[in-house]
Amino acid sequence: MNAPIRSKPPHILLIEPDNLVRGTLAAVCRDLDLARVHQATNVAAANAWLDHGDLEGMVVALDLDGAAMNLLAEIRAGKFACSAHLAVAVMSSVCTVELIKDLKALDVRRILLQPFKLRDAILMLEQLGAPLAPEAPSNPSVKSIAASDADKDAHSEDRDVRKNAKTGSESEAHPS
């Protein structure tokens, strides 16, 4: 499903401690006119942007002390001027069942597993503003929280079809 056509790029808040990651994502989004990325190094620095209220999405790096999870809970509780239904994606180096349950409860749309490629981060930012589709994302390192086991099986079948096509094996056409 394609994202709706917008007259101007959405405002996205990126909370990431690594200056290189923040700067690169912001520059690429600006150059491709994907989003206006507002940068914050930590949760405390992000509060001013959240009180501004004109954000359409947020990407936050999960940290060890839990400040990012607390921030997500505060956003969902309506403690900021931004919408309590703000589209949120997270970046994390680990992904456990408990973390997925917690993120699902906080209505997080996407998880980007670190380390990641720049194209994966751009894909995540593009999908952040789009409505959630029931199918799994096309890139395995960008996970949809709403993906089901059936979606994972379909993704695996698609990979098998592509593999057979590369090896020259006869295969059925896979519906999109």
Q: How far apart are CA 114 and CA 98, in angstroms?
A: 18
Residue 132 CB-density burial (10 A; 0-12 exposed, 13-18 middle, 19+ buried): middle
95 plus 46 within the same structural domain: yes
pLDDT for 127: 83
Q: Tell me: do 105 and 170 sit in the same domain.
A: no
Structural domain of 46: 11-145
Rounded Cα distance between 173 and 67, Å, is 47
Same domain, 156 and 106: no
The tokens of 40 are what?
């914050």
pLDDT confidence of 161, banded at 50, 70, 90?
Answer: very low
Residue 128: per-residue pLDDT = 81
User: pLDDT tens digits for 82-129?
Assistant: 889 999 999 999 889 999 999 999 999 999 998 889 899 988 888 886
Q: Are residues 75 and 98 in the same domain?
A: yes
